[in-house]
Amino acid sequence: MKKTKIGKKIINFTLESTNKDGFRSKDYLGSYLILFFYPKDNTPGCTQEGIDFSNNYKKFKTLNAEIFGISRDSLKSHNNFKEKYKYKFDLLSDPNEILCNSFGVIKEKNMYGKKYMGIERSTFLIDEKGKLIKEWRKVKVPEHVNDVLKFIKELSKN
């Protein structure tokens, strides 16, 4: 599968979503699309990142930006996670790692000396025409959402 690159259109994709109709990327042409990949539902960093995006949801919407969180967790897990923290955006389930591989977020990780493959926390911004225009990799949760918001505000000024 081709890797998504800055300046290139993203693949057209469909995934299961906490929105009962599912998610089709082509439905979001005409809006900025924020895709944030996170390792696992109900873990401290992932929970806080979701809360930060949710708390700023209205600000993103006024800038014509839609937000979606993506992990390999099941739709059932996503629905529970979204409900528990009252996230204002939908979560997408990518258990087969199709989108994860397209964006190159599956990386070797190490926890307590044990190596495994997992999602590297990353955020991607797609423009109104479906082109990848910005990526944040190896994201640290504090201030990340503010950085994304600031970047989109700057784009809106131009």
Q: Give the separation between CA 124 and CA 135, rounded to whole angstroms.
A: 4
Q: Give the separation between CA 92 and CA 54, rounded to whole angstroms.
A: 15
Residue 130 one-letter amino acid:
G
Give yes or no for a contact between 18 and 118, defined as CB atoms under 8 angstroms apart. no
Q: Which of 10, 15, 46, 152 is catalytic?
A: 46
> Burial level of 124, CB count in 10 A (0-12/13-18/19+)?
buried
Q: Give the separation between CA 119 and CA 50, rounded to whole angstroms.
A: 15
Q: What is the DSSP string of 85-123?
A: HT-SSEEEE-TT-HHHHHTT-EEEEEETTEEEEEEPPEE
46 is known as an active-site residue: yes
| Residues classed as catalytic | 46
